[in-house]
Every structure is written in C-alpha cells, then in structure tokens.
Amino acid sequence: MPSMLWAMGISGHSKSGKQSASVRTAADSLLRVNCSDLLLGMYISELDCAWSETPFSVGGFHLKTAEDIETLSKHCKFVSIDTNKGTLPRAVKLNQLTILSSARRAVPASASLKINRATYPVLYPIKQQIDKSYRCYARLKQDFYTQAQAIRAVEEMDLSCLEKSIDVLIDEIVGNPQTLIWVLNTDPDARRKTDYCVRAAIWASILARQTGMILADLRALFMGTLLADIGMQLIPERLVYKRGPFSKQELSAYKRHVNLALEVVASYPQLDSRVTGIIRCHHERHDGLGFPRGLRGEQIPVLARFANLAYCFERLLKLDTDGPSSPPAKALSRIYKQRVIKFPQQLVVELIHVMGVYPLGSLVELSSGEVALVLEQKAQQKLSPKVAVLTDNNKSPIEAIQIVELGSEDNALESRIVVSSYRNADSSGKEKPGASLKPGNYIFSFCGRKIGIGALSLRL
C-alpha cells in the first residue's frame, strides 16, 4: 500500500506518525524529499529554509558532490526536487520498476528480428547533405499537405508527386541518417497539421536503416507510414485535434480513421499489401491493447511495428501541437519505459542507439548551468557529445558561441557534463530562462559556409 500511495502522489504516514520520506507537491514534477534520502544528480528546486542562509544559487541547482548533500543537510530537513531535471528518489524508481516489470512479464516474448547495423555504411558528412535533405523534406511536407487536403475534399490523391521526394529522402537516410535527425530536430518551419505524418515516416525509415532493412521494404515502410493516418482527413477535426479523454462514442468514431484510410488507398493498386498492412495495424500494441483488432507481438506485421513506434515517438515530441515541445531525450526515455509493453524491446533499443542518448539538434543543460546544442554524438562516449554552448550560466545567450568536446582531456571545459535535456518552457507553457533558445534558429549555423546556388552549392 505505501508504494501505491506513492505512485498516486498521495502523502502517507508511518505507524509512528512520522511523515513519509518523500511526498508529491502540487506540481507534477516536484517531490518533497527528506534530506536523508538525497542522491547525487537530483535537482533541488525549493528549500524549507531561506536561500540566503545557504551557499547555494537561488532558483535551483544539481547535487554534484557528496559535499553538496552534506552541506544542504546542515541547513534543511526537507527540500523539493524537480524530477524532470534530475535523478529520481529510490522509492519512485523501485515502484516504477515493479509496475512496469509486472506488465512486461504478462507479455509473451516474441521472436527476435535479424539486426545488421553495418548493412549501410555512412557515405556523406552532414554538411554535404543538409541543404538537399532540408529542401526535399520541406517539399514533401507541402506536397503531402496538398494531397491530404484533396482527400478532405473527397478528391483523388496524386501519389506520383510524393514518390520522387520519398526516393530522395530514402537515399539521404541511407547515406547518413544523422542528417535528417538533425533536420527534424532543428526544423525552423511552422508546423502544418499533417507534418507529423511526414516526420513519422522519416523516423520509421531511420530506424529501419539502422536495423539493415532491405531497400524495397524500406520504401514500402516510408509510404505506408506516411499514409497511415490519411483517414484522419475524413473524420471530424474536433476528434483529430481533441485534447483530453474521449467519450465512448468519440473513441469509436476516432478509431474509424483506420478503415477510412484503407478505403482511400484501395483506389491505388500500385500500393502493395505491405503498405495496407502498415495502415491496418499501426495502432496495434505489442501487449495486445491496441486497435482495431487487438493484435499482439508477432501477430503485428513487422513494418507496422516500425510505424507504430515512429508515430508514438513523434507524438511525444509534441511538435504538431501549439504547446511547448518535448526534448527528444525525454521522449526516448518515456518510450524506453514502455518497451515490451507497447513496443518490441529490440526496436526501442535500436531507436535509442541510432538517436543517441542526447540526439543531434537537441538542447541540453550542462553542469555549469549553461545551455548547449548537441552537434555530434561520440560512439564511445554517448554521455559526452560535441556541443555548441549557447548561453552563460544564467541562461542568457552569448555572442561568442563555443564549440566544446565534452569529456575531452584537451579542453578547458572537461569538467562540465550534460546533466539533462533542456526545455525552454514548463509543462504549462510558461517560459523559463533561455526561452528564446530554439534549435530551429541554428539549423544551418554549424554546417559550414555555403558556396554556390541550389543543387550546385556546397558547404566548406
């Protein structure tokens, strides 16, 4: 029972009448913690004494050393930690592990997919691909939006106008998937309501390339993922963009978009069974709790498993809404917790492997308090990426941006580490220090100087 009370965020008391060690506060991300339960890496947000009575910076800080914990314990009995920014208490970790482990044991194991990460070698550096990748990505977003509007008007789609862009993007993904990871994470354009379909198709293809999927299946995966939600154009918009729980009738109407999409693509005989299989099953879950048929494990077509994971990852980024975006690292963390339950563990592991712990183009907070943009992942040091430091320790933008190899013995910043991904607004949309920082402001900033025009240009 105590663990269940903890999970529900309800304060409890022991038989002796003492207050439990950790109690949830009103804010979902804040926990009140006894100083005897502090751990390194926790982010201290509030104290039970005046900040001026302590040697710590006003407004919050990470516990970096044992001395920090000892000093804090001398001044406070309880503190509030922000679970979105730092380490969780042991009690929370244990409770989450117990609940999720029980759910995983209830799902039958599925046969492993054959993974070959070395199938496609990296052929180009990012700076050589980025202009072409971005142009093609932007064109496909516009073209797909146009075709979706045609379906909404009960007109025919022109799939041929999509196929050229798809072929180019697949070639770019095969050549170096990190280019489109960078482009999607730093995309500066305002989002159309259909952009999430294009983005999900790219995420699915990046994951497929990582596993060594053959090109024919990879192309079918891209098209099937792109069209998977086309039936959304034929249901009421209030259901498509609704926030909050559905009524039973609304949920039933919402689920119809799968069959409506199948009716749409039935008019295009050039689309094979792999594409229709993705559309039919992209909402199925690994544990059998998806829809429309409640398939589980190996009953779900392989390509549909890729599409399902890609759509869920894109939804977690929240880039298709008007609210604040979620850092890619946080979205990956949430997906990892749902491995074996919603998604096959193999695919989750491969997604994290290709994206990295802190993906390219994402903002991170350093132990110094500075905010940086991830420029490059290191194969052997995934927690120490190459970054561009964008702010000072007060989150104020700096003019002289620094490029830093974290973890390198040669640089003066070697003691600095990434402590968390960074989000410039809280969950309610309230801006935080550094709110002007947006990855989209830097999409071409670190890719060299462009020489030439259009397809004849290159970057040095």
Alpha-carbon Rg for the chain, nearest whole angstrom, is 24
Tell me whether residue 332 is exposed, middle or buried, using C-beta atoms within 10 angstroms of its C-beta: 0 to 12, 13 to 18, 19 or more: buried
Same domain, 327 and 394: no
Residues 105, 155 contacting (CB under 8 angstroms):
no
Domain membership of residue 404 (yes or no) is yes
Domain membership of residue 120 (yes or no) is no
Residue that terminates a domain, selected from 338, 355, 372: 355
Same domain, 44 and 163: no
Same domain, 340 and 368: no
CATH number at residue 201: 1.10.3210.10
Domain membership of residue 111 (yes or no) is no
Same domain, 293 and 382: no
Residues 417, 367 contacting (CB under 8 angstroms):
yes
- The pLDDT assigned to 458 comes to 67
Domain membership of residue 116 (yes or no) is no
Domain membership of residue 14 (yes or no) is yes
Residue that terminates a domain, selected from 307, 325, 355: 355
> Over its length of 460 residues, how does the chain's per-residue pLDDT go in tens digits?
333 333 333 333 333 343 444 443 334 568 888 888 888 888 888 888 888 888 887 778 888 877 788 888 888 888 888 887 777 786 665 666 566 666 676 676 666 789 999 999 999 999 999 999 999 999 999 999 999 999 999 999 999 999 999 999 999 999 999 999 999 999 999 889 999 999 999 999 999 999 999 999 999 999 999 999 999 999 998 888 877 788 889 999 999 999 999 999 999 999 999 999 999 999 999 999 999 999 999 999 999 999 999 999 999 997 544 455 788 999 999 999 898 889 999 999 999 999 998 999 999 999 899 999 999 988 777 788 999 999 999 999 999 999 998 877 655 545 788 888 888 766 555 666 666 788 999 999 998 877 766 666 667 6
Query: Which amino acid is residue 21, in one-letter code?
Result: A
Same domain, 145 and 41: no
Q: State the residue range of the domain holding 248.
A: 126-355
Domain membership of residue 73 (yes or no) is yes
Domain membership of residue 415 (yes or no) is yes
Same domain, 378 and 256: no
Residue that terminates a domain, selected from 339, 355, 371: 355
Q: Count the domains in the chain.
A: 3
Residues 22, 6 contacting (CB under 8 angstroms):
yes
Single pTM value for the model:
0.78
Q: How far apart are CA 259 and CA 231, in angstroms?
A: 7
Same domain, 20 and 163: no
Same domain, 225 and 311: yes
Can you list the alpha helix ranges (DSSP code H) found in 110-155?
126-152
Q: How far apart are CA 422 and CA 436, in angstroms?
A: 12
Same domain, 97 and 244: no
Contacts of 333 (CB under 8 A, 6+ apart): none
* Closest by Cα among 110, 82, 164 to 426: 82
Q: How far is CA 149 from CA 154, 234, 335, in A?
A: 9, 10, 31
Q: How far apart are CA 186 and CA 362, in angstroms?
A: 8
Domain membership of residue 112 (yes or no) is no
Same domain, 92 and 133: no
Same domain, 10 and 74: yes
- The pLDDT assigned to 57 comes to 76
Same domain, 13 and 154: no
